[in-house]
Amino acid sequence: MEEREERLSQERIMEIRYRWSAGPYLGRFLAELRDKGKFYVVRCPGCERFLLPPRIVCSTCYTRIPEYPDGWIALSGRGILLDWQRVIYPQMDPETGEVRDEPFLHGTFRLDHDLLFVHYLGPADLDEGRLQEGMKVEMVMKPQEQREGKVTDIHYFRIVED
């Protein structure tokens, strides 16, 4: 039997900063969110599937998506709560290094056109005893001066009464 040479390795921790282009579709989506508080999806002309976030080519049927504004649809910012998770451990924001206050709630929401979206529930909704599947929610944007062109410009979703 052939003897194998031992393979040595060394562990190194490296910090690599980089920027990547959001491109024309995701860039437009993030700019509309930042500048106007509008949450857009696109509808594929081939299979009629709604895509969130918008992209150039449909990942299902590979049809090219028309450029803004053709086929771009602004969502209402409202939906229903499907489920939620209480997060009770410290979670660091990888962009800022800041640790988010805990506990906090993540929710899964069904938005317009049957789209699912996961995001934070508002601090007023921390009382899980009152949360129920099917409750209506609405998107709450950060104040204009705090928006950065990121999905976190959506501050959280809050429960709304009928």
* Pick from 113, 114, 31, 37: nearest CA to 73: 113
The CATH label, of 2.60.40, 3.30.420, 2.40.50, 3.30.479, for the domain at 76-162 is 2.40.50
Note the pTM of the prediction, 2 decimals.
0.83
- Domain ranges in the chain? 20-74, 76-162
Q: Which range among 51-60, 92-101, 126-135 shows the weakest confidence by mean pLDDT?
A: 92-101
**Sheet with 50-51, edge to edge strand ranges:** 50-51, 40-43, 72-74
What pLDDT is attached to residue 1? 67
Chain segment 64-115, per-residue pLDDT in tens:
999 999 989 999 999 999 999 988 888 887 667 788 877 889 999 999 999 9
pLDDT at 162 over 80: no
**Six-digit token pair at 2?**
């052939």
Tally Cβ neighbours within 10 Å of residue 36.
Answer: 12
Dihedral (C-alpha) 115, 119, 124, 126: value to the nearest 10 degrees? 110
Q: Which residue has the higher pLDDT, 119 or 2?
A: 119
How far apart are alpha carbons 117 and 155 in whole angstroms? 14
- Per-residue pLDDT of 17-45, as tens digits, reads 888 889 999 999 999 999 999 999 999 99
Coil, helix or strand for 83? strand
Supply 51's token pair: 């895509």
Q: What is the residue-averaged pLDDT of the chain?
A: 91
